Structure 1
Amino acid sequence: MNMNYAISWECLLPLRVTSNIRGLFNKSRSSQNILCFARKETQSAGNQRHESSLVGTSETTRVAPYSKSFCEWLAGLIDGDGSLQVSKKGYTSLEITMGLGDLRCLRYIQDKLGGSIKMRSGAKAFRYRLHNKQGMINLINCINGYIRHTSRLQQLHRVCQQLEISVIYPIKLDKESNWFAGFFDADGTITMSMKNNSPQLSIRVVNKLLQDVQPYKEVFGGGVYFDSAQNGCYQWSVQSREDVLSMLKYFKTHTSRSHKSQRLFLIKDYFTLRDIKAFKANSIHSKAWLDFINRWNKLKI
Structure 2
Amino acid sequence: MLSGCAISASSNLKPRGGKGVEGLLNPAAERAQQVKFNEWLAGVIDGDGCFQLSKKGYASLEIVTQLRDRRLLYLIKQKYGGAVKLYAGDNYLRYRLHHKAGLLNLIKGVNGLIRNPIRILQLAGFFDSDGSIYLNDQSGQIFITASQKNRFILDALVELYGGQIYAMVKVGAFK
Normalised by the length of structure 2, the TM-score is: 0.74
**How far 1:219 moved relative to its partner?**
2.5
Aligned residues of 1:86 and 1:93 also touching (Cα < 8 A): yes
Where 2:89 maps in the other structure, the secondary structure is: coil
Relative to structure 1, the CA distance from residue 68 to residue 201 in structure 2 (aligned partners, 3 Å threshold; closer, same or farther) is same
In structure 1, runs of 5+ residues without a counterpart are: 1-63, 149-169, 236-301
RMSD over aligned Cα, in angstroms? 2.2
1:234 maps to 174
What amino acid does structure 2 have at the position aligned with 1:213? L
Larger radius of gyration between Structure 1 and Structure 2: 1
Give the Cα–Cα distance (whole angstroms) in 1 for the partners of residues 37 and 44 of structure 2.
Answer: 10
Give the Cα–Cα distance (whole angstroms) in 2 for the partners of residues 91 and 84 of structure 1.
Answer: 11
**How many equivalent pairs are there?**
145
Give the Cα–Cα distance (whole angstroms) in 1 for the partners of residues 126 and 63 of structure 2.
Answer: 12
Are residues 1:130 and 2:71 paired? no
Mapping for residues 238-257 of structure 1, pairs under 5 Å: none
Q: Deviations over 1:64-92 (max 9, x none)?
A: 9x822111111111111012111122111
Relative to structure 1, the CA distance from residue 225 to residue 96 in structure 2 (aligned partners, 3 Å threshold; closer, same or farther) is same
Give the Cα–Cα distance (whole angstroms) in 1 for the partners of residues 130 and 159 of structure 2.
Answer: 17
Q: Deviations over 1:246-301 (max 9, x none)?
A: xxxxxxxxxxxxxxxxxxxxxxxxxxxxxxxxxxxxxxxxxxxxxxxxxxxxxxxx
Normalised by the length of structure 1, the TM-score is: 0.45
**How far 1:232 moved relative to its partner?**
4.2
1:192 maps to 135
What amino acid does structure 1 have at the position aligned with 2:132? T
**How far 1:215 moved relative to its partner?**
2.4
Relative to structure 1, the CA distance from residue 191 to residue 114 in structure 2 (aligned partners, 3 Å threshold; closer, same or farther) is same
Mapping for residues 55-94 of structure 1, pairs under 5 Å: 67-94=34-61
Q: Deviations over 1:151-190 (max 9, x none)?
A: xxxxxxxxxxxxxxxxxxx6xx43x431101111111011
- RCO higher in 1 or 2 (8 Å CA, sep ≥ 6)? 1
Aligned residues of 1:190 and 1:201 also touching (Cα < 8 A): yes
Where 1:121 maps in the other structure, the secondary structure is: coil
2:76 maps to 109
What amino acid does structure 1 have at the position aligned with 2:126? F
What amino acid does structure 2 have at the position aligned with 1:107? Y
In structure 2, runs of 5+ residues without a counterpart are: 1-30
1:177 maps to 120
